[in-house]
A and B are shown apart, each in its own frame.
Chain A
Amino acid sequence: MIELSGVSKTYGTAQAPIHALHPTDLKLDEGQVVGLLGFSGAGKSTLLRLVNLLETPSSGRVSLGGQDLTGLTAAELRQARQQVGMIFQQFNLLSSRTALENVAFALEVAGLEASVRRERAREALSAVGLSDKETAFPAQLSGGQKQRVAIARALAMRPKILLSDEATSALDPHTALSILRLLKQLKAERGMTMVVVTHDIKVASYLCEQSVVLEKGRVVDRIDMGNPQPVSRLGKFFFETARGWTDDTELPQEDA
């Protein structure tokens, strides 16, 4: 479903290059959820942004569902991006639009008709449990609700792939868990393929089948989350610092 081979990202000049990401391979089968773990500046966001080519790779190839993105024209690439949902740490909701209009943004961009947009945006908002917040502006929503609207926007085009860039990092723990449960449910119900950037091992343990640990722009570990046996120092550190969440973890109060 997702295949990145030998992708790298280098900034700066030829004399003083800054390697954000050394050549890296990343392969996900359909329905697989992979975590990208690491500290700030490790290159995990860069790797994520290479999947939908928000960053242009300095070398290597990116292909999604068999389509090679690296050779596409700008217009073809925009079309390909419409088939990949993305959510962010800061939600990135448009403050001037209501929840429903925010969800419809992705559909507007794709040029869908107004009646179709409305129907699909409603459907997506209902899928994240916010049917009653259609006319609310982002400023009137809680953090968890904002991220739900953002997830609805990412789902509106019915993508097979979802990219998550620290989607729960700005939320308090129980709100974070309720968002992760929603993502897990989307994986189970829709078989979505996900790449999840996080610095929190609990997120990876809860959601991901496999984690890729990045350090200074290099992959240092690939961990099977079902049977975790980290080999790198950083990989071991992540596991030592936290116990994982489970399906049974009690939420003090349900955030919707």
Chain B
Amino acid sequence: MNDLFGALVEFGPALWKATTDTFLMVGVTMVSAVLLGTPLGVLLFVTSSQGLYPKPVLNRVAAYLVNVLRSFPFIILLVLLIPFSRVVVGTSIGPKAAAVALSFAVIPYFARLVEQNLRDVPRGMVEMARACGATPLQTVLKVLIPEALPALLGSLTVTATGFIAYSAVAGAVGAGGLGDLAIRYGYYRFETSVMIWCVVIMFVLVQCTQLLGDWLVRRTDKR
């Protein structure tokens, strides 16, 4: 016990730095998921052969790209993206570089979830919108996304909790963050108490994310 709290004092600043790094990585990742993954998911849904705006070639190209990106083991993606990260954020190591790789992983993942959530909106809603004379864009913005919103927030929560854990893998490129700290100190240097603190903090992050997500879903779900 003394060890555990001693470690908290000794490694407090490191733990704090690791927590903020994790926040940075996961935060950027989630912003990418929403801003880029959502439109990609909408595109996958809308351009499908049964969709609002069938564009078979575009749909196949997008689905192909998504599948290619989804096939990469994350650690390989991290290494492959080193040159790209250097161009985009000016560095190939640290949390910023890891955020680039995490974004590449999250965009196709979240897009597939969005696609599925939109598929689950009853087809009659789209029919109603067409009968009212809505454009495909109006149908997406006024019907599909609002009707799928509780499901989308649920998907976002699953994605966020998953990527909190995922961000730990990014330690492999010296990304920083709680996972990285747990491995470097806890595992390689036998500082078990540091590892325990890292896991506890991650648990709290995951728990809070889940609670927040559940609350948002409940707030928006009028069904």
Chain B nearest CB from A156 CB (Å) reads: 9
B132 touches A81 (CB 8 A): yes
Does B131 lie at the interface of the complex (its beta carbon under 8 Å from any beta carbon of A)?
yes
A139 touches B223 (CB 8 A): yes
Contact partner of A54 (CB less than 8 A), chosen from B131, B138, B222, is B131
A-side contacts of B130, CB under 8 Å:
54, 81
A92 touches B124 (CB 8 A): yes
A109 touches B147 (CB 8 A): no
B132 touches A105 (CB 8 A): yes
Contact partner of B125 (CB less than 8 A), chosen from A78, A94, A110, A163, is A94
A96 touches B220 (CB 8 A): yes
B222 touches A106 (CB 8 A): no
Distance in angstroms between the alpha carbons of A96 and B222 in the assembled complex: 6
Count of B interface residues, CB-CB < 8 Å: 21
B-side contacts of A82, CB under 8 Å:
132-133
A95 touches B222 (CB 8 A): yes
What are 12 residue pairs bridging A and B, where the CB atoms are less than 8 Å apart in the complex?
A78-B134, A78-B135, A81-B132, A82-B133, A84-B131, A86-B128, A90-B124, A94-B125, A105-B132, A109-B135, A110-B132, A110-B133
Q: A54-B127, A86-B128 are in contact. List 13 more A-B contacts (CB 8 A).
A: A81-B132, A81-B133, A86-B131, A90-B124, A92-B125, A92-B127, A95-B147, A96-B220, A97-B146, A106-B132, A109-B132, A110-B133, A138-B222
A-side contacts of B132, CB under 8 Å:
81-82, 86, 105-106, 109-110, 153
Chain B nearest CB from A195 CB (Å) reads: 13
Contact partner of A92 (CB less than 8 A), chosen from B122, B135, B146, is B122
A-side contacts of B28, CB under 8 Å:
none
Binary interface profile of B, 111-130, with partner A (CB < 8 Å = 1, else 0)?
Answer: 00000000000101101111
- Where chain A touches its partner, the secondary structure class is mixed
B-side contacts of A96, CB under 8 Å:
146-147, 149, 220, 222
- Chain A positions near chain B (C-beta within 8 angstroms): 52, 54, 78-82, 84, 86, 88, 90, 92, 94-97, 105-106, 108-110, 137-139, 153, 163
Chain A nearest CB from B1 CB (Å) reads: 51
Does B142 lie at the interface of the complex (its beta carbon under 8 Å from any beta carbon of A)?
yes
- Where chain B touches its partner, the secondary structure class is helix
Within 8 A of A (CB), among B139-165: 142-143, 146-147, 149
Distance in angstroms between the alpha carbons of A81 and B129 in the assembled complex: 10
A88 touches B127 (CB 8 A): yes
Chain A nearest CB from B148 CB (Å) reads: 9
With A92-B124, A109-B138 in contact, is A139–B131 under 8 Å at CB?
Answer: no
A92 touches B128 (CB 8 A): yes
Most-contacted residue by chain A among B124, B132, B149, B223 (CB, 10 A): B132
B-side contacts of A54, CB under 8 Å:
127, 130-131
A94 touches B146 (CB 8 A): yes
B222 touches A137 (CB 8 A): yes
A79 touches B128 (CB 8 A): no
B-side contacts of A108, CB under 8 Å:
138, 142
CB closest chain-A residue, reference B125: A92
